[in-house]
Amino acid sequence: MQNNENMGNKRFNTRMGVILFLVLLLGVCCFGKILYLVIFQRSLYSGTSSKCLDKTQEDWKQNPLAQDSTCDCYVIANNVRPVRGEIYDDQNHVLVSNVTVFDLTLDGRIFGSKDTIYVHSAAKLNKLVETLSAEFYNHFKDKFPKNDLQYYRKKFTRALIEQSNALILQSNESNEQRWVTSEDTAFINHLPMFSEKPCKRCVNYTYHTVRINPYGDLAKRTLGLNIGDRQYGMEYYFNEQLAGIEGSRKYLYVNKARLPLNEYVEPVDGYDIHTTLNLEIQNIVHNELKAKLIEQNAEWGCAVVMETETGEIKAICNLRRANRDGSDYTESDEYVLHKMVEPGSTFKIASALAYLEQRHGDDNKAYHILCHDFKRTNKDNSRTYVYHKYDKSSYDDNNHKNIYAYPSEIIQRSSNVGIASMIFDAFGDNNYKNYLKKIDQLYITTSFSTQLGKIQAPNLKRNAKDFHTYYNTCYGAGFTMTPIQTLVYYNAIANNGKMLAPLFVKYITKAHETEPLETFQAEVLNEKICSPQTIAKAKSYLKAVVYGEHGTARPYRDTIITFAGKTGTRDIWDEELKAYNYSKNSVSFCGYFPADTPKYTCLVFMYNVSKKSSIAVDVFARIARNIMNTGNNGYGALQTVNHNQNTKTPRTYVVNTEQYKFLMKQLGIAYPDSQLPVPYVTSGLREDYSVMLKKPRFKNGDKMPDVTDMIAADAVSELTRAGYQVKIKGYGVVHRQDLNTATNTVTLYLE
């Protein structure tokens, strides 16, 4: 018995000895291999060996290894894309952000290698193709209208029956309507076939980061794009700041194995752009212009609002007819900045400025306004030419030839004959060049640069010697200029002669920071375009257009929200006929408000309408009234607030801290500035009527932001920034928020 135990112990010890020897031998081998790799193969596995082709070098193709088909060691670098910066309005609402979209590929080779219920049954496989084709067609028919049922049958047949790799759907990065989003991938993943474990690996998603405009068409053309040959707007002109700097990670491929190298360059995320645009004003301008364009079935229209004193563009809108019936309009070409159009009668105030400067402010002479015979002699005075001009389609020579008016009434009536009579009298009937020289001195006809490109100078016929060119130029016909140039010199009148170039971007910051890295101010084009006396006269003329007895904008005058400006109507030139089409008009109104203390300058322009300029005045008046009644300026409804010392901080919903400060300042209410929480605050009164400030919940650690009681604009901004898709139902402030985890979509219910 004892011998058996000894024999067992001996065999056990022998086996353990063998195992120990083998382990030690393996350890020695491993250690030896490590020493070999460290000493002899270190350069190979660090990518610095002469036997390794470094494809990160610029001249790598000149290396003999590039021609060696047996080379199995090379170094490559994968670019690490930075996060592109976001674009904000002047109240820190996100105007352009980033979102992930997908391309969908179905790998039938993986599907065929799995023992599923479909692989060995042709009938079941064909039925699966039909089912998937119908599901995809019904779900994506609005996003991809060109993909019919047969398209999906063909794709799924290729993937599942032929067991190939098939690209089913591809997102169009430049078209928001053609994106495959996380909501779509959730739908796909929940389909019966793709939710089955053996088939999950069949579905491959390639993701792309694209730009999204949370507020749709609002200022979309000005915010811009920088994709392929579609380069315009802020995305293009500030691409260097938005794009950031790419990083890189090097990989070594050796013996068909991929090894990451230590060389890693961190990407630098793009900077955020803070624009001068104001989302609330932009929304007002967009909606008012669009409504009128639909009403008139115009071909296109544009509108722009500039802050008079600073030159900051608060809203800019470029809308073009999206369908033949004119039921919808979308942001299109950059009409405001680059469309050359005949200005029409809005240019008469430029002629009036030239007249007043030439006559040193004397406007006490009356001129013909309905019809007049303009006499012009040739250079040697040997012959006199008579040009009969009139402003009415039917008139009686005897009754109308002797009707006169002073310059103020001429501008009120918008008389072509009257303004031409003024200019011919001040500069001479054969002195077109001197008239243009004076216009040039007013900086009305010069080109200038903006943050969004150069603005072309008006294409005036400078060397013309005929009567008609001179006559037509006086009232804005026969030449073209951009709408922004009209706005700029009207703003100079409102700004007491100081001409400013439009400003679109105020400052640049690092991602989600508030401290500016770089700030911008509007360029001063001219400190004083003309004398103060001329500016005062011009202001009185523009106010009379709205409030004067004969003013063309008189039907839209407002005694509370006062404004001043000038109407403009032009026939449209037909290139095919080489003549004006008198049944089609371009109409405009440019002015500022309030009339006596200008805060904003605005231009409205509509192209190809049947009516006159009154429709442009209507849009302008609505814009002015709505803007002045917003919380941005404390005018309108805020005029009646009681400013006595006992006024306390009113109850507020969750608002941006900076907006809260502005509101309290406008209401004249003191508040404990040092106690203000950031970035949002809510306030009310305690029982003893003392001010109570609270910091809303908002941030919940790593969880979804709590946007309850926020206005929709702030809520959408914060949720988008946090990476969620957002849907809105109702009106008012956020009452409830629900998260769909499958689609990563937050639904906001407003009340």
- 492/580 same-domain check: yes
- 118/221 same-domain check: yes
Which of 41, 71, 101 corresponds to the end of one domain?
Answer: 71
Which of 576, 607, 628 corresponds to the end of one domain?
Answer: 628
Closest CA to 682 of 664, 701, 709, 722: 709
Q: pLDDT averaged over the chain? A: 84
Please measure the distance between the N-terminal and C-terminal CA atoms of the chain and give it in whole angstroms: 92
- 526/660 same-domain check: no
- 600/670 same-domain check: no
What are the CA-CA distances from residue 386 to residues 373, 376, 467, 750 (Å)? Answer: 6, 6, 10, 70
Token output for 535: 């500016």
Q: What is the sign of the dihedral through the CA atoms of 547, 566, 416 and 611?
A: negative
- 392/368 same-domain check: yes
Which of 229, 251, 272 corresponds to the end of one domain?
Answer: 272
Q: What is the CATH number of the domain that holds 101?
A: 3.90.1310
Q: What is the sign of the dihedral through the CA atoms of 113, 116, 121 and 127?
A: negative
- 373/474 same-domain check: yes
CA geometry: angle at 490 spanning 486 and 493, to 5°?
Answer: 150
Q: How many CA atoms lie within 13 A of 429 on its CB side?
A: 14
Say if 16 falls within a structural domain: no
- 58/140 same-domain check: no
Say if 212 falls within a structural domain: yes
DSSP 550-569: T-TTGGG--SSS--EEEEEE
CA distance 488 to 524: 11
Secondary structure string (H, E, C) spanning 430-481: CCHHHHHHHHHHCCCCCCEEECCEEECCCCCCCCCCCHHHHHHHHCCCCCCE
Residue 341 carries which DSSP code? Answer: B
pLDDT in tens, 525-580: 999 999 999 999 999 999 999 999 999 999 998 888 899 999 999 988 877 777 88
Count of structural domains within the chain: 5
Other C-beta atoms within 10 Å of 106: how many? Answer: 24
Say if 636 falls within a structural domain: no
Token output for 686: 């305690």
Say if 77 falls within a structural domain: no
Q: What is the pLDDT of residue 80?
A: 77
Residue ranges making up the domain that contains 65: 24-71
Q: Which amino acid is at 2?
A: Q
Report yes or no: 660 and 651 within 8 Å, Cβ to Cβ: no
Say if 579 falls within a structural domain: yes
- 67/92 same-domain check: no
- 663/716 same-domain check: no
Q: What is the CATH number of the domain that holds 312?
A: 3.40.710.10
- 144/247 same-domain check: yes
Say if 76 falls within a structural domain: no
| Positions in the chain short of pLDDT 70 | 1-6, 8, 36-50, 110-121, 195-201, 256, 259, 380, 382, 392-402, 631-651, 666, 671-675, 684-692, 698-702, 731
pLDDT in tens, 392-427: 544 444 455 568 899 999 999 999 999 999 999 999
DSSP 57-106: STTGGGSGGGG-TT--EEEEEEEEPPPPPPEE-TT--EEEEEEEEEEEEE
CA distance 357 to 362: 9
- 264/310 same-domain check: no
- 613/647 same-domain check: no
Report yes or no: 321 and 292 within 8 Å, Cβ to Cβ: no
Closest CA to 148 of 138, 160, 161: 138
CA distance 93 to 385: 63
Q: What is the pLDDT of residue 701?
A: 57
CA distance 565 to 50: 77
Say if 133 falls within a structural domain: yes
